[in-house]
Amino acid sequence: MKLGIGLPLTTDREYSQFWDSFHYMRKPDHVYLRPQYRGPIDRVRNEIVKQAVTHRCSHLLFMDTDQVYRDQQMIYKMLEHDRDVVGTVVHRGYPPYDPLAFRFGEAGLVKVPEEEVYGGKLIEVDAMGCGCVLYNIKVFEKLPPPWFEDMSHIRNGQTDKGGPGEDINLCYKLRGMGVQIFVDTSIVIDHLALLAVNRGFSTLFKKLMELKQQEARKENEL
């Protein structure tokens, strides 16, 4: 096995919380991959895949840098599953902040029930957010490039059609080829997001703290 760890850097500003968690994480021998130039997320991911192929990596782990990886054994857990595609529980970085794990339903993608998402087991899904995913490099060899294509933005002057992002779009391609996609729900990652702190947020936070204190008092009375 030859592991490549790719950081899809789109800017030159990264969270210190990410670097702290990356530093303390247990990592096997690996090739460190990062894009030569910054750019759109799909182009950056495609460049890293090309680098992994050039280095003859057998596996490629994408780790987004706007996240905190608290499980120091994470990489070893993902490798032990020996699956072609294994992701982790990643939450949306904006409202409704839900976990990005989906299955195909009659009307398209439907959310995986929370009892499964937070169940601590390995589950099969049809699509997921790709903030942290381990790929067997052979899945990219089966697909013609570009592997990642962001269909959610305006491209080449065309109107935005509200299509899938580069992560969900790749999942569509993989499932279309019969590739199984799994999520290790024992690994939960913190997705870092900026919050506007104003009167409304302060009021909401205060109410949440009051509810927490009420629950604590009820527990003490039992």
- Residue 52's pLDDT band (boundaries 50, 70, 90)? very high
- Is pLDDT of 198 > 80? no
Mean pLDDT of 103-122: 93
In the chain, % of residues over pLDDT 70: 95
Cβ-based neighbours of 122, under 8 Å, separated by 6 or more:
81, 86, 182, 183, 184, 185
Mean pLDDT of 91-119: 90
Q: State the pairing for strand pair 108-111/132-136.
A: unpaired
Determine the pLDDT at residue 204.
Answer: 84
Mean pLDDT of 196-211: 82
Mean pLDDT of 190-219: 83
Tokens of residue 90, six digits: 């990643």
| Residue with more model confidence, 98 or 4 | 4
Determine the pLDDT at residue 153.
Answer: 65
- Is pLDDT of 128 > 80? yes
| CATH code linked to domain 3-194 | 3.90.550.40
Determine the pLDDT at residue 156.
Answer: 53
Determine the pLDDT at residue 84.
Answer: 98
| Residue with more model confidence, 220 or 132 | 132
Determine the pLDDT at residue 158.
Answer: 53
- Is pLDDT of 194 > 80? no
Q: How many CA atoms lie within 13 A of 202 on its CB side?
A: 3
Mean pLDDT of 122-140: 97
Determine the pLDDT at residue 79.
Answer: 98
Q: Region of 30 please: left (phi>0), alpha (psi -120 to 50) or beta.
A: beta
Determine the pLDDT at residue 215.
Answer: 87
Task: Find tokens 């592997």 and name the residue.
Answer: 147
Q: What is the tens place of the pLDDT at every residue in 141-180?
A: 999 999 999 887 655 555 455 678 899 999 999 999 999 9
- Is pLDDT of 197 > 80? no
- Residue in 127, 103, 99, 112 with CA at minimum distance from that of residue 189: 99
- Is pLDDT of 214 > 70? yes
